[in-house]
A and B are shown apart, each in its own frame.
Chain A
Amino acid sequence: MIFPFTAIVNQEDMKLGLILNVIDPSIGGLLIMGEKGTAKSTAVRALADLLPEIEVIKGCKFNCAPEGPYCIECLEKIKNGESIEIEKKKMEVVELPLGVTEDRVVGTLDIEYAITKGKRHFEPGLLAKANRNFLYIDEVNLLEDHIVDLLLDSAAMGINRVEREGISFFHPARFILVGTMNPEEGELRPQFLDRFGLCVEIKAITDKNLRKEILKRKIEFDTNPEKFMQKWEPEQKKLVKRILEAKKLISEIEVSEEIYEKVVELTSELSLDGHRGDIVLLKSAKAHAAFNLRKKVEKEDIKRVAYFALKHRLKRLPFEEPESEVKRLYDILSRI
């Protein structure tokens, strides 16, 4: 049994960051920077548990969506005119452990098949499993470089292309990348940092009453999980409904000329590298509007999400505190 998402006390930034990514997975994931013991992994698991089942092509190892994109195998099926059956599956949190090997991540030669049939065949790895699910990396800053490179590739393209051990294969790998890190234990490569759509910082709560509430709920949950789940059922249902509505709404969201201007103004004034910042900012503002069941992006949406979308993209030399840039960001935001 998993602790209910809505029962997580406070940590609003983290919760919102996750929800925005669910509403629009193309935002590109969430990096959670924070100390230990602040409900990071609980939140991710809880959200996956909360969400309704997704439709996948039956028998597909890569969770291909009925509407595509497809993996090689499904493509072949469609080409051959075979009928596609649809089944429902619960969303998963696929965890990438620190010592993971290359073949576990991207997939490898299927040993059984190779031996019994004497033919090359692809055995899916974690990226296949993560397609349309959450890919969760704890302590992402401690991940080995060559694994990071693999993830960078797939995260950018949404496709896992395998060329190794004599096999060529590709399959869609669109996942919500959630990473956690404690910045005191080492930094993340800027290039990888940039791949995370949003970044939130969470701090341990020091308010006595909030902490008390957390402890109470956790003990309540541990001693009688069924009862606790029942108690939170209405809240959970409400949130699911809201997220689903937002997901439907997102394609209808309007963005006025003024909002475009504001976004560009903001990012150009901060002189960010690249355009990912602008794009992510706009996307998450849209998702935020949808989450509040509005059809139009307002300035408030930008204000709320700008910090998540831009903070980790601010210019900064190693060892330099980004404080001054952060201050500038707030200054500009207050003008909007």
Chain B
Amino acid sequence: MISFPEFKEAFPELIGNYPAKLALVLNLIDPNCGGVLLAGKRGLGKSLLLKLFKKYLNLFKIPYVEIPLNVTEENLVGGIDVEKTLEIGYRVYQKGLLDKAKNAYVLIEEINLFPAEYLSLIFQRSYNYTIIATLNPEEGFISSHFLDKIGMCVFLEKLEDKKAYFELLRFWEKEKDLENSYLESYSNLYKYIEIIKSWRTNVKYENFIWDYIVEICLKNRAFTHRAEIFLFFASRAYAALKGDSVIKPDYVNFVAPLVLLHRMKNVEEKLQPQQEKKENQEQSQKNQEEPQNQSQNKPEKLPQKEQEKSSSQNEENKEENEEPDLDSLEIFLPSAPKEEIFDLGDVFKPKRLLLKKDRIIRSISGRRTKSKTHLKGGRFVRSVIFSKDKDIDLFGTIKTASPFQKLRGRKDKLIIYKEDIRYKEKERKISHLVVFVVDGSGSMAAQRRMIATKGAILSLLMDCYQKRDKVAMILFRKFNADVVLPPTSSVELAYKKLKDLPTGGNTPLSAGLFEAYKLIKKYHLKSPEDRILLMLVTDGKANIPIKIASDPLEETENICYELKNLSYVDAVVVDTEIKRDFLKMDLAKEIAEWLGALYFALEEIKSESLLNIVNLSKNFLYRNEAKS
């Protein structure tokens, strides 16, 4: 019986991060494991690990394909090489990267930054190849639909152990020749993996292991069948790694976190730094009374960090005692809001909010504003002489060439010169992200103001639904602001969240805007071409600052200016203050000015009472010009 001493010795240039190394080794043993997604913040070694993996593949001539972020659709799936075709006169095909990837490893950096269209192409045939990808959750996640097709997911951890940290510093102190270091270790790894590879098919399984796998998946609410299938292959590979001839439950336990973490519901939300989540977590911990999780109760400044750490902690624990508790995988229970929840008010047709059509070329699809596009999709508008992407308009080209055929002495072949070539200009509607920042403070509860507010938001949501906008929602109340809904195209989901929006407490308006600012910045990184509409719904009576003892209104003003300086953001303020009240302060109007936003009183947003569309869009035009 063979036994690989330590998978921990694999990829020695990266210190620690054993779960990630294990995942990679398992995928080398059996590509049926379905690939690995290496997630983590910047500087944790995702790319390094991918590079090392590539080094391994290079060293031992294992086929792989790299897909860079700047890939074009033609390179991805292949197609007719138009320019060559025109030159030679008969059809020349070029093979796409994905055609070459069959039975190989596909390496993708920053997978979350690919446009959805490309991801859909990449994942459409993902059963043909094994994807190893990196992702920085700060810049957004990929849709759970795609996520499900990747076998394993590991969150890289920051080194907590001081000794290891020193080791790392010592290691990177000197310039490294990555290509040629540790070659011996790599060839050892290769030798072992080759042996284990042939061994893995000898690994037997007993009947109860099926039940065991199914049970783990169900218990962790990973309902897709891929979870079980990948878990099976991973367990088998791990059994082989251990030199065993049967799959034991221990092995399943050991690899389960790799396979299940990203398949449990709401993995994306889990990675959002959210106060509320932490509360829930604490709640659920209390409910479950789990000693292992108690350690997480330590107060932390950054909940996100804590969550990442705790997940890796779990994994570490697993390594140490080899007898992990299934329930130690984080599971969040939905919190039962104790606050008042108001019904949705009447729905009405809101005014159309149009943004002007600009001339920036984008690659986004949606329905609100038309924009030029450089993606292959989009509606063909006209034929042009110059174009960044080489999408040749053949008809236009031939048409241009046709008057000169006689002059050029045409016999049987059409004679086309370089100057005849015309390109396609296409247009499609781009979409917007509408960020709702909603005041959930006690003042909103007065006279059941929240009902009307919810009605107004719902009406705006309906508008987003028809225009295929993305929506996000931030609620601020009590002492902080939460991203209730990260950017999503499911307006349905927004509706569900809206229904359960609680009210009560103070008005931390500046925190709400700051949260919006962070969200917008982050979103802009990922989709620099999307336009963003900030929809602030509040009465403006800010009374809780972010920093203790500072003036909440002053803070708000500062953040408003920051927001105003973002050229890709338009803002609308919906004032929910009751205007016939004695104490009316019109603070929201002031905030609208700070933001450079359109201002409406709640009642005005109903379409009958609003200004007409022309005025509205003119207003936007004016503002956009002023900005640029």
Query: Quick check: is B269 within 8 A (CB to CB) of the other chain?
Result: no
Query: Quick check: is B437 within 8 A (CB to CB) of the other chain?
Result: no
- Evaluate contact between A215 and B124: CB separation under 8 angstroms: no
Instruction: Give which listed residue, B117, B228, B413, contacts A214 with CB less than 8 A.
Output: B228
Instruction: Give which listed residue, A100, A186, A212, A215, contacts B490 with CB less than 8 A.
Output: A186
- Evaluate contact between B121 and A97: CB separation under 8 angstroms: yes
A-chain residues with CB within 8 Å of residue B416 when the two chains form the complex: 115
A-chain residues with CB within 8 Å of residue B227 when the two chains form the complex: 37
Question: What's the least CB distance linking A97 to chain B, in Å?
Answer: 5
Encoded as 1 (CB less than 8 Å from any B CB) or 0, chain A from 4 to 44 comes to: 00000000000000000000000000000001111100000
The stretch of A136-144, A249-257, A322-330 in contact with B is A136-144
How far, in angstroms, from A205 to B491 measured CA to CA in the complex? 27
Known: A118-B414, A219-B232. A211 touches B394 (CB 8 A): no
- Evaluate contact between B229 and A219: CB separation under 8 angstroms: yes
Query: Quick check: is B522 within 8 A (CB to CB) of the other chain?
Result: no
Query: Quick check: is A261 within 8 A (CB to CB) of the other chain?
Result: no
The stretch of B129-137, B211-219, B584-592, B610-618 in contact with A is B211-219
Question: What's the least CB distance linking A60 to chain B, in Å?
Answer: 20
How far, in angstroms, from A198 to B272 measured CA to CA in the complex? 39
Which of chain B's residues 232-290 have a Cβ closer than 8 Å to chain A?
A: 232
Known: A206-B218, A318-B462. A215 touches B232 (CB 8 A): yes
How far, in angstroms, from A335 to B573 measured CA to CA in the complex? 53
B-chain residues with CB within 8 Å of residue A222 when the two chains form the complex: 32, 229
- Evaluate contact between A208 and B413: CB separation under 8 angstroms: no
A-chain residues with CB within 8 Å of residue B213 when the two chains form the complex: 215
Encoded as 1 (CB less than 8 Å from any A CB) or 0, chain B from 409 to 431 comes to: 01011101000000000001100
- Evaluate contact between B465 and A37: CB separation under 8 angstroms: no
Which of chain B's residues 456-510 have a Cβ closer than 8 Å to chain A?
A: 458, 461-462, 465, 468, 489-493, 495
How far, in angstroms, from A215 to B216 measured CA to CA in the complex? 13
How far, in angstroms, from A26 to B468 measured CA to CA in the complex? 31
- Evaluate contact between A319 and B224: CB separation under 8 angstroms: no
Question: What's the least CB distance linking A100 to chain B, in Å?
Answer: 7
Known: A146-B379, A184-B490, A185-B490. A99 touches B73 (CB 8 A): yes
Question: What's the least CB distance linking B239 to chain A, in Å?
Answer: 14
How far, in angstroms, from A297 to B367 measured CA to CA in the complex? 45
Closest-by-CB residue of B relative to A36 is B148
Closest-by-CB residue of B relative to A142 is B116
How far, in angstroms, from A112 to B232 measured CA to CA in the complex? 50
- Evaluate contact between B413 and A99: CB separation under 8 angstroms: no
A-chain residues with CB within 8 Å of residue B377 when the two chains form the complex: 99-102, 144, 146-147
Encoded as 1 (CB less than 8 Å from any B CB) or 0, chain A from 104 to 118 comes to: 000011011011111
- Evaluate contact between A212 and B394: CB separation under 8 angstroms: no
Query: Quick check: is B7 within 8 A (CB to CB) of the other chain?
Result: no
Query: Quick check: is B386 within 8 A (CB to CB) of the other chain?
Result: no
Instruction: Give which listed residue, B118, B211, B225, B365, contacts A208 with CB less than 8 A.
Output: B211
How far, in angstroms, from A204 to B224 measured CA to CA in the complex? 6
**What's the tally of chain B residues with a CB closer than 8 Å to chain A?**
67
Encoded as 1 (CB less than 8 Å from any A CB) or 0, chain B from 73 to 115 comes to: 1000100101001100111000000000000000000000001
Question: What's the least CB distance linking B86 to chain A, in Å?
Answer: 7
Query: Quick check: is A95 within 8 A (CB to CB) of the other chain?
Result: yes
**What's the tally of chain A residues with a CB closer than 8 Å to chain B?**
51
Closest-by-CB residue of A relative to B236 is A219
Query: Quick check: is A145 within 8 A (CB to CB) of the other chain?
Result: yes
- Evaluate contact between B80 and A111: CB separation under 8 angstroms: yes
- Evaluate contact between A98 and B120: CB separation under 8 angstroms: yes
Which of chain B's residues 384-405 have a Cβ closer than 8 Å to chain A?
A: 394-395, 398, 405
How far, in angstroms, from A204 to B226 measured CA to CA in the complex? 11
How far, in angstroms, from A205 to B85 measured CA to CA in the complex? 51
How far, in angstroms, from A211 to B214 measured CA to CA in the complex? 7
How far, in angstroms, from A214 to B414 measured CA to CA in the complex? 59
- Evaluate contact between A102 and B380: CB separation under 8 angstroms: yes
Question: What's the least CB distance linking A207 to chain B, in Å?
Answer: 9
Question: In the complex, how many residue pairs between chain A and chain B have their CB atoms under 8 Å apart?
Answer: 157
Which of chain A's residues 281-336 have a Cβ closer than 8 Å to chain B?
A: 318-319
Known: A116-B413, A208-B214, A222-B32. A36 touches B224 (CB 8 A): yes
How far, in angstroms, from A144 to B490 measured CA to CA in the complex? 15
Question: What's the least CB distance linking B379 to chain A, in Å?
Answer: 5
How far, in angstroms, from A324 to B22 measured CA to CA in the complex? 51
- Evaluate contact between A211 and B85: CB separation under 8 angstroms: no
Which of chain B's residues 178-237 have a Cβ closer than 8 Å to chain A?
A: 201, 210-211, 213-215, 217-218, 223-229, 232
Known: A99-B118, A115-B414, A214-B225. A109 touches B394 (CB 8 A): yes
Query: Quick check: is B567 within 8 A (CB to CB) of the other chain?
Result: no
How far, in angstroms, from A214 to B210 measured CA to CA in the complex? 10
- Evaluate contact between B365 and A212: CB separation under 8 angstroms: no
How far, in angstroms, from A165 to B120 measured CA to CA in the complex? 29
- Evaluate contact between A111 and B91: CB separation under 8 angstroms: yes
Known: A111-B80, A114-B394, A165-B394. A146 touches B228 (CB 8 A): no
- Evaluate contact between A36 and B214: CB separation under 8 angstroms: no
- Evaluate contact between B145 and A139: CB separation under 8 angstroms: yes
- Evaluate contact between B229 and A115: CB separation under 8 angstroms: no
Closest-by-CB residue of A relative to B147 is A36
- Evaluate contact between A211 and B489: CB separation under 8 angstroms: no
How far, in angstroms, from A219 to B359 measured CA to CA in the complex? 53
Query: Quick check: is A187 within 8 A (CB to CB) of the other chain?
Result: yes
B-chain residues with CB within 8 Å of residue A115 when the two chains form the complex: 85-86, 89-90, 413-414, 416
- Evaluate contact between B414 and A114: CB separation under 8 angstroms: yes
- What are 25 contact pairs spanning A and B, CB under 8 A? A36-B144, A36-B226, A39-B225, A98-B117, A99-B376, A108-B394, A111-B82, A112-B85, A115-B89, A116-B414, A118-B414, A139-B120, A144-B377, A145-B429, A147-B377, A186-B492, A187-B491, A187-B492, A204-B225, A212-B214, A215-B232, A318-B491, A319-B458, A319-B462, A319-B492
A residues contacting B by CB (< 8 A) are 35-39, 95, 97-102, 108-109, 111-112, 114-118, 138-139, 142, 144-147, 165-166, 182-187, 204-206, 208, 211-212, 214-216, 218-219, 222-223, 318-319
The 8 A-B residue pairs with the shortest CB-CB distance, nearest first, are A37-B224, A99-B117, A204-B223, A165-B395, A98-B120, A37-B226, A112-B91, A36-B148
Q: A109-B395, A115-B414, A318-B491 are in contact. List 7 more A-B contacts (CB 8 A).
A: A37-B225, A102-B379, A142-B120, A145-B429, A165-B395, A222-B32, A319-B495
